[in-house]
Structure 1
Amino acid sequence: MVLLHKEEQEVTLPMDDQPVMLFRDVTKVYPLPAGDVTALDRISFQVDRGEFISVMGPSGSGKSTLLNMMGCLDVPTSGDIYISGTRIGDMSDVDLTTLRRDRIGFIFQYFNLFPLLNIIENVTFPLMLKTGKGVDPERGKEVLRAVQLDEKLFTHTPTELSGGQQQRVAIARALINNPDILLCDEPTGNLDSKTGAGIMDLMTDLNREGTTIIMVTHDPHIAEYSRRTIRIADGRIVE
C-alpha cells in the first residue's frame, strides 16, 4: 500500500506498519456570521492497526468534529487525513461514501437500527449495499454469534430487544464488512452500568482479536477499557 505525503512522495509501507489512520496538522474552521469558529486546531496523531483508543474532552472541546473527521463525514479546512494510506482530501463524495462503507464501522449511542427489518436484515444491510445483491443470511448469523446474541432473537425486530441486545446488533452491523476501523460514539451512553460493562467486555474481546477501535466517551470508567486515551480541549490535543 502507498502513503502519499504533501510533497507527493510515495512511501511504500508494509501493511502491518502502515497506520490505519493518520492526522497531520488538521484544522477545521466553521465560518459563522458572528465570526469564524475553530473546532480543531492543528491536530496531529496516528492510529496503528489493532489499537484501542478512547477520545475524551469536555463539551465543546471538538470531540464531535474530530469523530466526523475520523469517519470521513467531513473534510478538514487545512491539513491532511489518511485512512489506510488513502488521503481523503483527494477523494470525491462517491469515493468517500465507498471508503466509509468498506473501511469504517460506526457504532452509535442510540443504535440507529431499522425498526421494520428483523435483526439479520439489519446486520446484513451494509453488505447488501456493498455488493448490490442479496446477501446470504448465514453471514449475518455468523457475525451475530460473534457478538454473543441469542439465536432465538435473530428473526425479531429491534423493538423486541433490550438496549444491550440492540447494541450488540449494532456492533454486528458495524463488523459485517470487515472494516479497518471501528468508530464508537458513546457506545454505552444509553445503557445501564451492568449492560454497558457487558458491551465493553465484548469490545475488549474484539480488540484482542485484532479490531482497531476508536471510542469517544465522557466516562472515565469506560475509557479505562482502552489502551490509550487522546484528550482534547479547545480543539487541541492535550497531555
Structure 2
Amino acid sequence: MLFSDVAKVYPLPAGDVRALDGVSFRVDRGEFISIMGPSGSGKSTLLNLMGCLDTPTEGDIWISGTRIRDMSDTELTTLRRDRIGFIFQYFNLFPLLNIIENVTFPMMLKSGRDVDPERGKEVLRAVQLDEKLFTHTPTELSGGQQQRVAIARALINNPDILLCDEPTGNLDSKTGAGIMELMTELNRNGTTVIMVTHDQNIANYSRRTIRISDGRIVP
C-alpha cells in the first residue's frame, strides 16, 4: 500500500475542513503498523482511505500496485470484501445471529449462496474461542469473546490486510493484551495489520508507528 501526497477535504458550510494534508507513506506486505495521534488528527480518515471506504480529494493511493482512483465502485467493493478485513472498537456483530452465522456472513456476501459452517468453526478455533459458544448469540458473550468473533469474521475471506480501529478500546487491560497477542500471531503468519490506537502500550505490539497531527505525519 502506498499513499502519495494524499489530502482529504470535507466541504462544510462554515468552511472546508482539511482532514488530511499531503500524507505520504508506504506499508509493505506483512508489516504491523500502529497509527497514533490526538482526537481530530485525521486517524479515522486515514483508516477509511486505507480501507477504500472513502477516496482522496488530492493525491493517489495504490493497493497491490493498482491505483484506487482508477477503480470502479464495483471493483472497490470487491477489493474491500475480498482483500481487506475490518475490526472495530464496538464489534458490530448482528445480535439476532449466532456466532457461526455472524462469522460466515461475509462468505455469503462473497458467494451469494449458502456458506460452509465448518470454515466458520475453523476460523473461530484459530482465534481461540471456546466451541461451546459457537451457537450462542453475541449478547451471551463477554466483550473479549465478542472481539474474537469480530476478528474471526474479518479473517473469514483470508484478507491480505487487517484494518483495526481501536480494537481493544472497550476491553479491560488483561483481555486487551490477549487480543493483541492474537493480532501479533496473525501478523507472524503473514497478515498485514494496520491499527489505530491512542494507547502507547497497545502500539508497542506493532513494529512501526505512524504519528499524525493536524492531518500531517509527524516525526
TM-score of the two chains, using structure 1 as the length reference: 0.90
Secondary structure of 2:202 counterpart: helix
Q: 1:87: Cα distance to partner?
A: 1.2
Q: Which runs of 4+ in 1 moved over 2 A?
A: none
Q: 1:97: Cα distance to partner?
A: 1.1
Mapped to 2, the partners of 1:122 and 1:85 lie a distance apart of 32
> 1:214 matched to which residue of 2?
194
Secondary structure of 2:97 counterpart: coil
> 1:122 matched to which residue of 2?
102
> 1:177 matched to which residue of 2?
157
Mapped to 2, the partners of 1:231 and 1:30 lie a distance apart of 21
> 2:50 matched to which residue of 1?
70
Paired residues for 1:36-47 under 5 Å: 36-47=16-27
Aligned residue pairs total 219
Q: Does 49-58 or 85-94 show the bigger shift?
A: 85-94
Paired residues for 1:19-98 under 5 Å: 21-98=1-78
Q: 1:112: Cα distance to partner?
A: 0.2
Mapped to 1, the partners of 2:12 and 2:101 lie a distance apart of 42
From 89, 97, 111, the equivalent of 1:109 is 89
Mapped to 2, the partners of 1:217 and 1:142 lie a distance apart of 29
Paired residues for 1:137-148 under 5 Å: 137-148=117-128
Contact 1:84 1:180 in 2 (8 A): no
> 1:228 matched to which residue of 2?
208
Q: Determine if the alignment matches structure 1 residue 201 to structure 2 residue 181.
A: yes
> 1:13 matched to which residue of 2?
none
Q: 1:42 corresponds to which letter in structure 2?
A: G
Structure 1: stretches of 5+ with no match in the other structure: 1-20
Mapped to 2, the partners of 1:136 and 1:99 lie a distance apart of 22
Structure 2: stretches of 5+ with no match in the other structure: none
Contact 1:61 1:232 in 2 (8 A): yes
Deviations 1:71-94 (A, max 9, x none): 111100011111122211112222
TM-score of the two chains, using structure 2 as the length reference: 0.98
Q: 1:36: Cα distance to partner?
A: 1.3
Q: 1:26 corresponds to which letter in structure 2?
A: V
Contact 1:22 1:44 in 2 (8 A): yes
Mapped to 2, the partners of 1:84 and 1:171 lie a distance apart of 23
Deviations 1:11-62 (A, max 9, x none): xxxxxxxxxx110110111111222111101101111111000000001110
Root-mean-square deviation (CA, aligned residues, Å) is 0.7
Q: 1:104: Cα distance to partner?
A: 0.5
Secondary structure of 2:96 counterpart: coil
Mapped to 1, the partners of 2:93 and 2:34 lie a distance apart of 24
Deviations 1:169-210 (A, max 9, x none): 000000001111000000000001110011001101111111
Q: Determine if the alignment matches structure 1 residue 153 to structure 2 residue 130.
A: no
Mapped to 2, the partners of 1:133 and 1:170 lie a distance apart of 22
Secondary structure of 1:112 counterpart: coil
